[in-house]
Amino acid sequence: MEENKKMKWWDEARFGMFIHWGLYSILGRGEWVLLVERIPLKEYTKLADRFKPPKSFSPEKWVKLAKEAGMKYMVLTTRHHDGFCLFNSKVSDFTSVKTAAKRDFVEEYVNACRKHNMRIGLYYSLLDWRFPGYFDREKYPESFKDMVEQAHQQVRELMTNYGKIDILWYDGGWIPGTKGEMDEIAALWRSKELNDMVRKLQPDILINNRSGLPEDFDTPEQHTTPSERPWESCMTIGDFCAWGYFKHNPNMKPTTQLIQNLVSCASNGGNYLLNIGPKPDGSVRNEEVKRLKEIGKWLNKNGEAIYGTERRPKDFGFWGAGMLGMATVKGTNAYLHIFRWPGDTAVITGIKNKVLSTRILGSNRRLKTIKEDGKLIIKGLPVEPPDRYGTVITLELDGKPETFDYSRIPLI
Ligand code: FHN
């Protein structure tokens, strides 16, 4: 399939759900707990005896929540850095299938996604902290080799046993004792060989850039810095270090900020992959559910200004990303996402196009718009912001959105 054709659905999706869930969820101190507390492996392994979500839990609950939030795809940690697999593996006994749960959660998740027409992403951590060779490959060369081999085998299993997969989301490619150069990382994981195999098994799959090779898209983490290539920003709702369930996680971002992050991604042509860290029983904490439902409601009304939007032209942010908010564009429409409501009149500078109509998204009422000295003056707006999370004003333009540069023009 042609490259851009393959990316089309992803490019239009703009919003996805990331899920970090595994043994670490039991301890409630984040997904790095094994390493940061240097828990003896024997002790940590025993957590598998307690990882037994109730029968009533089904990953379908996550899928339904993602749908309600307006998300178009999901990415589940099939295995994080602790090596515990949520899937059946012939090359490891440390899996949810061979321990207390006796369930293949990847299979359940994949089936639930298919049932609800949700695009399917699988996260896989290349590194596995259980291997001494990961920490010191000079001292334990065989162990390092085994870890790499395990990754190849397990990625093959994931790409073979669950039907069509839309995204392979690698993580944990970095290796202690290297300079972290991409070429070096790719050589150590034999990533070219690995990804060739993946593409053979899953011709339409999208692969992220964390195996040391650029592949299909970049993955800025906890920030929304755009890149020239396709990109997706992944973020937690709570503190930056808490992807997996962290019981005490007081800094949950407010819904306004999460929506602004989503708009910031869309306005720069990127996707937003927003994380939840379910509890050990699979349930999602109220603070996360509440925010996701609020975003979903907002998207129900304003999705037109997010899904399928294009990377806005350079400099289009001169006004769009200015004092009032940000802009997204689609075809000959520009959408002004007003986060800081100006009152009954909005003054927008820098738009070159002729404006054919101005409306608040979702309303048929045309707003009076005057073009004066290159400025756009939108009149008759409600005095108070119509939407507390962000009101979208749609400008229908006479062509593709264009701006002119004000920076050298003195004030009159
Ligand atoms: O170490 C991980 C972290 O736990 C989390 O999974 C994030 C998600 O992108 N990735 C790693 C750090 O880059």
Task: Give the pLDDT means over successive 10-residue stretches in the chain (412 positions).
Answer: 82 98 98 98 98 98 98 99 98 98 98 98 98 98 98 98 98 94 97 98 98 98 91 97 96 97 95 98 98 98 97 62 84 94 90 93 92 87 96 96 80 80
Domain with CATH 2.60.40.1180 in the chain: 325-408
What is the whole-number distance in angstroms between the Cα of residue 370 and the centre of ligand 1?
A: 49
Task: Report which ligand 1 atom has the smallest distance to the Cα of 18.
Answer: 8
To test the ligand 1 pocket, which listed residue (170, 232, 243, 274) has its Cβ within 8 A of the most ligand atoms? 243
- Give the residue whose CA is nearest to atom 6 of ligand 1: 243
Q: For a pocket test of ligand 1, which of 169, 170, 171 has the largest count of ligand atoms closer than 8 A to its C-beta? A: 171
Closest residue by CA, ligand 1 atom 10: 171
Q: How buried is 109 (Cβ within 10 angstroms: 0-12 exposed, 13-18 middle, 19+ buried)?
A: buried
pLDDT at 412: 79
Ligand 1, atom 1, residue with closest C-alpha: 172
Q: Does ligand 1 have an atom closer than 6 angstroms to the CB of 243? A: yes
Task: Provide CB contacts within 8 A for 193, sequence distance 6+.
Answer: 152
Q: Within the chain, which residue ranges are assigned CATH 3.20.20.80?
A: 2-305
Give the pLDDT score at 375.
84
- By alpha-carbon position, which residue is closest to atom 5 of ligand 1? 243
207 lines ligand 1 (CB under 6 A): no
**Residue among 75, 191, 150 at smallest CA distance from 199:** 191
**Structure-block tokens of residue 305:** 């200004």
CATH of domain 2-305: 3.20.20.80
pLDDT for 319: 52
- The predicted structure's pLDDT at residue 383: 97
DSSP calls for 131-177: -HHHH-TTT-HHHHHHHHHHHHHHHHHHHHHSS--SEEEEE----TT
Tokens representing residue 329 in the block: 């564009």
* pTM, full prediction: 0.97
Give the pLDDT of residue 226.
85
CATH class entry, domain 325-408: mainly beta
Would the CB of 171 count as within 6 Å of ligand 1? yes
Max Cα-Cα span within the chain? 75
Q: Which two tokens stand for residue 239?
A: 């503190």
